[in-house]
Chain A
Amino acid sequence: MRRAFVEGLADLADADDRIVLLTGDLGFSVVEGFARRHPKRFINVGVAEQNMVGVATGLAEAGFLPFTYSIATFSALRPFEFIRNGPVLHDLPVRIVGIGGGFEYGTAGYTHHAIDDLAVLRTLPRLIVLAPADPAQARAALLATWSRPEPIYYRLGKDEETLVPGLDGSFELGSLTKVRDGTDLAIIATGAIAAEAVAAATLLEGLSAEIHIAATISPIARRGLIDILSRHQTIATVEGHSEVGGLGSLVLEVAASRGLPNRVVVCGIPPAKAFRNGGERHLNASVGLTADRIAARIRKSMRALH
């Protein structure tokens, strides 16, 4: 996802000299192409993410379109107050690019696991928060949003290969994308873990699941969500993110605010900091974020209902 995104950005920068890429000294094998093609608009600011966002704010105020790049915990959480008081408060088109959602940095440990970025960033007004599901959608999201006036957070995965079946690189800001029809329940997934959610639907043994990809976390795709909540009693949300404050919370907020009596099965990362060491797959399995475990939770929930 990240390579597709940065290559797309370099292409855009050919035609728009407002685009500047800042990195907090990360992006080995990802940012070099941009740096080679646009050396005067590529700046490695060093390991200093607060200053990176502050400098981007100053650049944006003068008319540039700065993209700040780092691992999601460092690009989003470390300078949170700079994002809040800078691009958000000043309403400037700074783009925060955060790499690796959930457990994508596996063995690197808790310091590198962005499991709370969506929760905190979606509190910020007018900040567009995006979590594409695969490389084609990441590129489409960039092309659809890069020149918008609002500040934007792009949460990008590291997987450059996996494509979500049925998604076909589609993206529309503020909308959900349906990738499969179904009649018994709906699954809504965001970010790179969406592929697991789609796989889970094939393991539901007689249950027919409608599947939607929620690449836009903020602004809320309210109309689409209400439509889904109105048509399906059971909703399963799937995210590589804390169960607190992310996609699941968002769906629950919309349901409760409309007085809708849905059952929402939130498949995310339980609030904990004592995760075992291990790779992404191992960590996802430890919290039930694999296709078979997601399917098992959904089946159990549906049984309990009837």
Chain B
Amino acid sequence: MTVTRDASRIAEAAHLSPTEFARSIRRLVLEESKRANVGHIGSALSIADILAALYGTAVLRDGAGQSGERDRFILSKGHAALALYAALHLQGCLSREQLATYCRDDSLLGVHPDRALPGVDFTTGALGHGLSYGAGAALAGRMLGSDRRVFVLMSDAECNEGSVWEAAMFAAHHQLSNLVAIIDANGQQALGYTSEVLDLEPLAARWKAFGWEVEELPGHDVEVLAARFDSLPAPTGQPHVVVARTVFGRGVSYMEGQIKWHYLPMSEAEYEQALREVAEG
């Protein structure tokens, strides 16, 4: 499959408000995960509003484009790639037909994002790598005299990985103020709640102790997130982390906060209900 950026494919983005952009991400996530009969639905729904704040606004400078000066976005929690594909489609980077190749044989759209796909700079899937990539990308930007920013979206459980804290120390020490980490803090991981598996709290205080400028924001308020992302970098000289408090499976009542929706695909009845709720949400 050849994927090229084609302005004529910009289907919906032009006239979608950021909130509608998020709703469209959710709808596309449901449609494609149902068609492909795969899981990771709850994880993708969890970040729909964060992605809408970045891709459904003017925040991410030339986000899906090819210019060297563009802001970088790294989906370190790669298992939620379907939500990113939906955002890239809504931006006009992927056609609906291309999005419909998700999880098909020979598609570039796998469960985890592949840099062969335009709009994806780093292949992810193994947790704990993205923040180091981002730190390198941010350092490179500074060494090149570029004002590009690097956004890295991680899961909260990803902070179980020691490598995250290696990267956190590095970014703070080198004052990589052009680096922004966003933590999708939905409190869940594959087999349980983070509080039960390996407690992360006080998460914000931990990042602060590592030398980051920290704030906690409501992770489903697109306007608040977009305004904050747009204002970065802050003048403090520190890297910035947004602990985005989210609800796993957000928008589909029977998925919200339910561990099993990390893995399960939807039945027909569940799918119909989910579509209805997302459309009304």
Chain A interface residues toward B at CB < 8 A: 20, 40-41, 43, 45-46, 48, 50-51, 53-64, 66, 81-82, 85-86, 89-90
The tally of residues in B whose CB lies under 8 Å from a CB in A reads: 29
A and B contact pairs by CB, cutoff 8 A, 12 listed: A43-B174, A48-B169, A51-B132, A51-B135, A51-B170, A55-B170, A57-B133, A58-B137, A59-B136, A61-B122, A61-B137, A86-B129
Chain B interface mostly = helix
Q: Closest A residue to B126 by CB, please name it.
A: A85
A48-B170, A51-B166, A54-B167 known; A86-B133 Cβ under 8 A? yes
Is the beta-carbon distance between B136 and A63 smaller than 8 angstroms? no
Top 9 nearest A-B pairs (CB, nearest first) are A58-B136, A54-B132, A62-B140, A51-B166, A48-B166, A55-B136, A58-B137, A50-B163, A58-B133
Q: Are A58 and B129 in contact (CB under 8 A)?
A: no
Shortest distance in angstroms between A26's beta carbon and chain B's nearest beta carbon?
16
Give the residue name and chain of the B residue nearest to A82 (CB). Answer: B129
CB-CB under 8 A for A55 and B132, given A63-B140, A90-B123: yes
* B105-122 CB contacts (< 8 Å) to partner A: 115, 121-122
Residue B183 interfacial (CB < 8 Å):
no
What's the least CB distance linking B120 to chain A, in Å?
11
- Residue in chain A with minimal CB distance to B134: A58
Tell me if B169 and A54 are in contact (CB < 8 A): no
Q: Is B138 an interface residue (CB 8 A)?
A: yes
CA distance A64 to B139 in the complex (A): 11
Most A-side CB within 10 Å, residue of B125, B166, B170: B166
A55 touches B126 (CB 8 A): no
Q: How many A-B Cβ pairs are below 8 Å? A: 92
Question: Which residues of B pack against A, CB within 8 Å?
Answer: 115, 121-123, 125-126, 128-129, 131-141, 143-144, 162-163, 166-167, 169-170, 173-174
A90 to B144 Cα, complex, angstroms? 21
Residues of A within 8 Å of B129, CB to CB, are: 54, 82, 85-86
Tell me, in angstroms, the Cα distance from A90 to B121 when the chains sit together. Answer: 9
User: Are B132 and A57 closer than 8 Å at their CB atoms?
Assistant: yes
Q: How far is the CA of A203 from the CA of B187 in the complex (A)?
A: 68
Which residues does chain B contribute within 8 Å of A64, judged by CB atoms?
140, 143
- Across-interface contacts of A48 in B (CB, < 8 A): 166, 169-170
* Cβ–Cβ < 8 Å partners of B163 in chain A: 50-51, 54, 82
On chain B, the residues within 8 Å of A50 by CB distance are: 128, 132, 162-163, 166
A66 smallest CB distance to B (angstroms): 8
